[in-house]
Chains A and B, each alone.
Chain A
Amino acid sequence: MKTITITPLKAFEISVEAENISPDKLAPLSLSQIRSLSIWQGNRKRKLLDLFRAEGDDGPAEAEDVTITLQGDFSRAKRIAEGMTAGKVEAEGGVGMHAGNNMKGGLLSVQGDAEDWLGREMRGGKITVSGNAGNYVGAGYRGEKCGMRGGEIEVGGNAGAYLGEHLCGGNIRVHGDAGDFPGAANQGGTIFIGGSTYLPGAEMTKGTITVRGRARVLPSYQKMEIMSIEGEDFQKYVGDLVEKGTGELFVRVGSS
């Protein structure tokens, strides 16, 4: 087991590119090597120790045995846990944009809020957020045809707009509300929304979206039968017919 604790020295006015804060990057490094990792802040290249305090175990380890604890406010540190394949990142506060992007394995847990693009283009592993998440959770970045392809994202609070846009696989669970257009252009992923949302599944061709609260459904969805899921009645829809889609949308009966 190797545990590293990282704490910002002060609040960042200009955001930081923190793609080096991942178990894969830190596993083989000693503490002094970790402290001298380069990190961009705006257009300035800095060393990790200029911006953060890093403490913990010194020796090398495998990524799967690494736990990185982030103490304090990381909401202006972008790309935390980018592309991580194993191990754990535990943020005690919030995390910045693009956290867990392109993640392939391991666990990213966030006690606070996550900013936009959480787990975008994720391939595997798990992300849990106790607070709220921003826009484009699990989405594909600008121009990309495929967002999340695998893995799991769970958000305890609310999520922003375009939740799971261009989803090609994987599983997203939001316990609160989701913003506009969740599951837009979904091509095979699964989304559960505990609260309410607006216009889910636009241009969805495959996959499933379940809404337990209220949802305004697009006119391009065909109304099907009422189905019982875990003891509650859900209205089933199929669409998006604009794209000759066969995606399934379930909205709880009586909530809309």
Chain B
Amino acid sequence: MIIKGGIVYDPANGIFGEEMDLCVDEGRMAEDGKGEVIDARGLLVMPGGVDAHSHIAGTKVNTGRIMRPDDARLGIEPRSGVCRPCTGYTVPNCYAIGYRYARMGYTTAFEAATPIIEARHTHEELEEIPILDKGALTLFGNNWEVMECVRDKDIGKLAAYVAWGLRSARGYGVKIVNPGGGEAWGFGSNVKGPNDPVPNFDVTGAEIICGLAQANEMLRLPHSIHLHFNNLGKPGNYTTALETLELLKDIKPSRMRQVVHVAHMQFSAYGGTSWRDFESKAPVIADYFNSHNHATMDLGQLLFGSATTMTADAPLEYGNARLTHNKWSNHDIELEESSGVVPMVYFRKMLVNAVQWAIGLELALLTRDPWKVLMTTDHPNGSPFINYPEVITLLMSKPKRDAEMATLHEQLPKRTSLGGIERELDWTEIAIMTRAAPARILGLVDKGHFGPGADADISIYNLRPEEIDPSRDHALVKKALAAAKYTIKSGIVVSQEGQILAAPQGRTFWVDAAVPQADMDRLMVDLQEKFEKYYSVRLSNYAVQDAYVPHPKVIRAGIQMEVA
């Protein structure tokens, strides 16, 4: 396949809007190509989109679907052509997830939180998501074994557990959610910050985070720790964010990447002492990211309208349920996590929601280096992923932001700096924040760029970057981004003008990390006792079998052992 004459944005390879041909051979980018020719003369061409943080599969996503038959009605598309029937808006069914990402030019999406014991369910759903390449991050932040290793300062055993956990869950990376808080929730409380002790475990969230970060780097995992802070979603929580980031600044990364990726930063950049004097602290957070290089973030942008909040942060969801008087699901996951789901509507007229909306945009616009900021909505917590074109156009157009702000609460300009920000992102920055950076931050070497050998995931849009002004023509840009002219996945045209043409099966990335046998032996003694005493399943039935991951892409990592 040859894609002719597109205006190509491939920032990872230093290509910023050059007219050039792209060649595909056997599903990968190549120097030469033959066969089908796609005419992309003058059109915007970028690598396929990569979503590094999205809730697309697993028990809590399915709980959201079960709780919200009202949501299923909002996105009904009958079976047609190669497409199976679709339902849902904030919690779409598996098929809809694949098709809708592909229509927008996205070809990769990572599920952000799976407890090891629930991983089988996650993989059953991932396998049913058509087209996309996928992976799932594994939860470790409230795990008993993790907390005991951290308490005993046994980082070798902790690394062995992380490696064993990733292998058991067929997981991709280390996710930490409200460390210590999820365990405390089992006793009806929460931790107040990273330095608050976890009941019954004699450790703090700070120790858990640092221990897991050290283990993560010891194992040379492709992705860094992926962190959901303590106190998320509470007024004044920006100090928790800064305090936690400071803990990690001296840890050395084992690869050319960050030491910590902060999930949905918007929910942790809040000032004020209560919802009454709630305000944005995004400028302070952005300053921190501008002056430090060990951390990256995704936005978790909030948009007005319907959402479904779902997280392993169960105490947070209890708060949401009390606040909204809405339906609430709460789950305790044995020795590993807790979780919750609450439907939500964000209102334009509500000042708090308007400030939250502004914070996400401020973070993206005030952080100078786009490689540090990923565009996400923390689907479906801030808004469903289907609204990414709205977020992108807000970032590219000051007039659009101004017009939007004019419809919001009159107090808003006093609570945020958004109105004074002139910056409008260009296509290079958008290509970084939606393609190149998420691939680099996740450690996916074959994604997010067009270098030879990279996966031939390509998105071509009905936009002429040399003629169009996204600042002025934002409505046109939004429409074009919502339905790519072509989405190509592994060299196959999967979507054209919003029509799904093919639905090939994607792969599931997981990380197999090697650890010394002695550490693993010590670990197994602990685990045998835990499974005997506490777990509802046997150790031998615990790990996800290969049959559940029939299309794997295994990434090797681990502790480099000296060759005898």
Contacts and interface: CB of A to CB of B under 8 A. Distances in A.
Interface of A: 140-145
Query: 5 closest A-B pairs (Cβ-Cβ)?
Result: A143-B70, A143-B69, A142-B69, A144-B70, A143-B68
Nearest to A142: B69
A145 B69 CA distance: 11
B67 interface: yes
A194 B375 CA distance: 58
Nearest to B67: A143
Contacts of B72: 143
Contacts of B70: 140-145
B93 to A, nearest CB: 15
Contacts of B71: 143
B73 interface: yes
Contacts of A142: 69-70
Interface in B56-73: 67-73
Nearest to B72: A143
Contacts of B73: 141
A13 to B, nearest CB: 22
A121 to B, nearest CB: 10
A142 B68 CA distance: 8
Nearest to A146: B70
A187 to B, nearest CB: 11
A142 B70 CA distance: 6
Between B67, B70, B72, B73, the greatest number of chain A beta carbons within 10 A of the residue's beta carbon is seen for: B70
A245 B252 CA distance: 58
A182 to B, nearest CB: 22
A144 B73 CA distance: 10
Contacts of A145: 70, 326
B67 to A, nearest CB: 7
B76 to A, nearest CB: 12
15 contacts: A140-B70, A141-B69, A141-B70, A141-B73, A142-B69, A142-B70, A143-B67, A143-B68, A143-B69, A143-B70, A143-B71, A143-B72, A144-B70, A145-B70, A145-B326
A140 B73 CA distance: 13
Interface in B68-115: 68-73
Nearest to A243: B325
B25 to A, nearest CB: 42
Given A140-B70, A141-B69, A143-B71, 12 more contacts: A141-B70, A141-B73, A142-B69, A142-B70, A143-B67, A143-B68, A143-B69, A143-B70, A143-B72, A144-B70, A145-B70, A145-B326
A237 B417 CA distance: 52
Most interface-central of A140, A142, A143, A145 (chain B CB within 10 A): A143
A184 to B, nearest CB: 15
A143 B327 CA distance: 9
A140 B71 CA distance: 13
A247 to B, nearest CB: 16
Contacts of B69: 141-143
A91 B73 CA distance: 28
A118 B136 CA distance: 44
A145 B70 CA distance: 9
Contacts of A141: 69-70, 73
A140 B67 CA distance: 15
A145 B342 CA distance: 13
Contacts of A143: 67-72
Contacts of B67: 143
Contacts of A144: 70
Interface in B335-381: none
A141 B71 CA distance: 11
A158 to B, nearest CB: 27
A140 B69 CA distance: 11
B457 to A, nearest CB: 35
Nearest to B326: A145
A144 B326 CA distance: 11
B83 to A, nearest CB: 15
A35 B326 CA distance: 45
A141 B68 CA distance: 11
B371 to A, nearest CB: 41
A140 B70 CA distance: 9
A82 B67 CA distance: 25
Nearest to A40: B78
A74 B49 CA distance: 50
A198 B169 CA distance: 50
A143 B73 CA distance: 10
A144 B67 CA distance: 10
A156 to B, nearest CB: 31
A122 B428 CA distance: 49
A103 to B, nearest CB: 17
A142 B71 CA distance: 10
Nearest to B327: A143
Interface in B180-220: none
B377 to A, nearest CB: 22
Interface string B303-338: 000000000000000000000001000000000000
B345 to A, nearest CB: 9
Interface in B26-74: 67-73
Nearest to B66: A143
Nearest to B79: A43
Interface in B416-470: none
Nearest to A140: B70
A68 to B, nearest CB: 25
Nearest to B345: A145
Nearest to A45: B78
A220 to B, nearest CB: 17
A144 to B, nearest CB: 5
B482 to A, nearest CB: 26
Contacts of B68: 143
